[in-house]
Structure 1
Amino acid sequence: MAIELKMPALSPTMEEGTLAKWLVKEGDAVKAGDLLAEIETDKATMEFEAVDEGTIAGILVAEGTDGVKVGTVIAMIAEEGEDASSASAPKAAAKEDAPKPAEAPKVEAKSADAPAPASAPAPAPAASGDRVKASPLARRIAAEKGIDLGALAGSGPNGRIVKADLDGAKAGEAPAKAAAPAVEAPVAAAAAAPAPAKVWWDESIPHEVEKLSNIRKTIARRLTESKQTVPHIYLTVDIRLDALLKLRADLNKALESRGVKLSVNDLLIKALGVALEATPKCNVTFTGDNLVSYRRADVSVAVSTPTGLITPIIRDAANASPSSISTQMKELAGRAKEGKLKPEEYQGGTASLSNMGMFGIKQFEAVINPPQGMIMAIGAGEKRPYVIDDALAIATVMSATGSFDHRAIDGADGAELMKVFKELVEAPLGMIA
């Protein structure tokens, strides 16, 4: 059955937007995560990704169309094995209901005896009758600056005014227009020339442009997918670290002859593994139609590298010894920074841990790493006033925040995991016994 691709809501308040540009064409094969289009709202232009795989059977809303309501069918995707022509059957009817972009002025064909024009006419203001064609963002900027949109020429699709057309304009006037260069070829041929690439930054500021690495592209795609498709719920607890720090010191003294030195992070990885096995409702993956429950806790650990963030995995963290976790992490982190990890060493995992305490960050909310169901964000351990045995004292305390996929994990289940994690860190002998 054909899949309807609908205009997405890119913010909680979005009701409609402009389909600024299609990044695919009819007949293209797409898979989850592929970029399909650029959608413009009154605040920003954002890329829209595919969540299903198949073939683009029909594009129902042309690029440059303003006022496309959220939920409008903008394209059809044929699933594997489906006839693309039959999948695009609703195309004509859908196009009748979709907003239509204003037609571009037609260029009448000249007879062979007619002389070629000496020059192309200057762009006309982007108006159609009493209506000015402009993007929502351009309208907002014009209103703030008091710029008359009717006096501007648009460089966007079908003559639509975009943000770049307002650069340099002052209240009550339009930016100066350069005279159109002489054109010896017919006007229709000139109109077919590709438009210059859109620049998304201020070129007047000294800058450098660096091509994104494949890792950075993957990070951008996956985190965008996570924030757009996964409803996050955040739960935070304060945890006393004094017992864990004492245990770490004792273990390091015993392990000194073996050349092993445990970090606090090594013990927190262990604690998260044990907590996940103790609360199996949080050790899950949501797939849309099914919920996958794991019988083993494989903890992905965020590691910063010169090319971006990567998450090597400690397999079966609940049953691994702290010394084994420490040895594995040093070896995996070293190869991660050299770009030598194997795919199976960073792909997968059932949950993640991200520690920014070494940077002095007190608390933060991490983005879930799909398809995992949760991630634990660790803040810095610091001396704080703390009530111990009904008396105010000074203790070493850290804040830990769990981000949970609310489609799969209820708040009460997430709270149970946070409770178990806190108890294990505050009484750490229980997790290594």
Structure 2
Amino acid sequence: IAQRLTAAVQTIPTFYLTIDCEIGKLLAAREEINASAPKDKEKKPLYKLSVNDFVIKAMAVALQKIPNCNVSWTEGGMLRHKHSDIGVAVAMPGGLITPIIRKAETKSLSTISGEMKDFAARARARKLKPEEYQGGTTAVSNLGMYGISHFTAVINPPHATILAVGTSEERPVVRGGKIEIAQMMSVTLSCDHRAIDGALGAELIGAFKLLIENPVMMMV
């Protein structure tokens, strides 16, 4: 882990793009979906979606909408990916690991949620297989559960991007000259400038913002 992080910082020319997302619709949809989740024989819900499940799905769909960002830099040329394989940073004793949700753009939120719960449990038990955490096209790192409002994340090669997700919190916003309270979340996209320039990165984080603020668009 230390070797890869050092190589990433020393060899990848990185720039950062931060944007604020209003997630009131997302939280309402999450509450409604979780409330209507089917139950098992013990009357426990079969799934319970987290905000991070929506983030993973939104990032996967955004990469499909901006395919020039779904790339990896190699010395031989640019590698373009067909699917959105999203790595998700999971803390474990002595470091972190990034299991991959493969073809995340094709999966339902409940499927993503189930895979993440399984990956997280096995990651902490050090039972992940190498093919489950190697490769991928981008990654998501979420520190919102720790109350962190904003941070930047280190790109994990061969990825060209990583999305750092802060906490969901009430903030004052101005609409039509009036101050209102909205549920906001800040995200920061780290980009490898060899593969993605500023304007292209802005398109990707803009596509993510549109999806996360309007979660029904992820279902289409």
Could you tell me the TM-score, scaled by structure 1's length?
0.49
Other structure's SS at 2:104 match: coil
Matching residue within 182, 194, 205 for 1:407: 194
Aligned partner of 2:23 in structure 1 is: 241
- How many angstroms apart in 2 are the aligned matches of 1:230 and 1:343? 24
Distance 1:373 1:320, change over 3 A: same
Specify which structure has the bigger relative contact order, considering alpha-carbon pairs within 8 angstroms and separated by 6 or more residues: 2
| 1:299 matched residue in structure 2 | 86
Query: CA separation in 1, counterparts of 2:140 and 2:193?
Result: 18
1:35-61 Cα distance to aligned partner (Å, 9 max, x none): xxxxxxxxxxxxxxxxxxxxxxxxxxx
Aligned residues: 215
Q: Does residue 323 of the first structure (1) align with residue 129 of the second (2)?
A: no
CA distance in 1, matches of 2:188, 2:68: 18
1:231 and 2:13 correspond = yes
Query: For the residues of structure 2 that align with 1:293 and 1:264, how far apart are their CA atoms?
Result: 28
1:375 to 155, 162, 169: 162
Paired letter, 1:282: C
Local SS of the residue matching 2:48: coil
Verify: 1:346 aligned to 2:128, yes or no.
no
2:143 corresponds to: 356
Alpha-carbon distance between aligned partners in 1 of 2:181 and 2:127, rounded to the nearest angstrom: 44
Aligned equivalents of 1:308, 1:272: Cα separation in 2:
24
Residue 320 of structure 1: how far off its partner (Å)? 0.5
Q: What are the residue-to-residue correspondences of 1:6-405 with 2, within 5 Å?
A: 219-257=1-39, 258-405=45-192
> For 1:281-317, what per-residue CA distance to the aligned partner results, in whole angstroms no more than 9, with x for missing partners?
1111111230001010000000000131000111111
Shift of 1:386: 1.1
Q: Which residue of 1 aligns with 2:211?
A: 424
Q: TM-score, normalised by structure 2?
A: 0.95
Partner of 2:42: none
- Separation in structure 2 between the aligned mates of residue 298 and residue 387 of structure 1, nearest angstrom: 37
CA-CA distance at 1:318 after TM superposition: 1.0
**1:319, distance to aligned residue in structure 2 (A):** 1.2
- Cα distance in 2 for residues equivalent to 1:417 and 1:285: 15
Q: Per the alignment, do residues 430 and 390 of structure 1 end up closer, same or farther by CA in structure 2, a change over 3 Å counting?
A: farther
One-letter identity of the residue aligned with 1:332? F
After superposition, what is the alpha-carbon deviation per residue over 1:90-128, rounded to whole angstroms, capped at 9, x for unaligned?
xxxxxxxxxxxxxxxxxxxxxxxxxxxxxxxxxxxxxxx
Structure 1 or 2: more strand by fraction: 2
CA deviation profile, 1:350-391 (whole Å, cap 9, x unmatched): 000000001111100100000110000000111100123553
Letter in 1 for 2:142: N
> For residues 326 and 389 of structure 1, do their structure 2 counterparts lie closer, same or farther at Cα, with a shift above 3 Å needed?
farther
Supply the distance in 2 between the matched residues of 1:354 and 1:389 (Cα, whole angstroms): 34
Q: 1:319 to 1:391 in 2, by over 3 A?
A: farther
| Whole-angstrom CA distance in 1 between matches of 2:60 and 2:52 | 12
CA RMSD of aligned residues (A): 1.0
Change (3 A) 1:256 1:386: farther
Q: Distance in 2 between matches of 1:398 and 1:359?
A: 13
What whole-Å deviation, never above 9, does each CA across 1:162-185 have from its counterpart, x for those lacking one? xxxxxxxxxxxxxxxxxxxxxxxx
Q: Where does the alignment leave 5 or more consecutive residues of structure 1 unmatched?
A: 1-218
The Cα of 1:432 is off from its aligned counterpart by 1.6
Query: How many percent of aligned residue pairs carry the same amino acid?
Result: 52
Distance change (3 Å), C-alpha of 1:389 and 1:325: farther
Shift of 1:256: 4.4
Secondary structure (helix, strand or coil) at the match of 2:159 reads coil
2:25 counterpart letter in structure 1: A
Structure 2 residue identity aligned to 1:420: A
In the alignment, the residues of structure 2 paired with residue 252 and residue 388 of structure 1 have an alpha-carbon distance, to the nearest angstrom, of 30
Structure 2: 5+ residue stretches without partners:
40-44
Structure in which a larger fraction of residues adopt helix: 2
- Structure with higher Rg: it is 1
Secondary structure, counterpart of 1:255 in structure 2? coil
| Partner AA of 2:36 in structure 1 | A
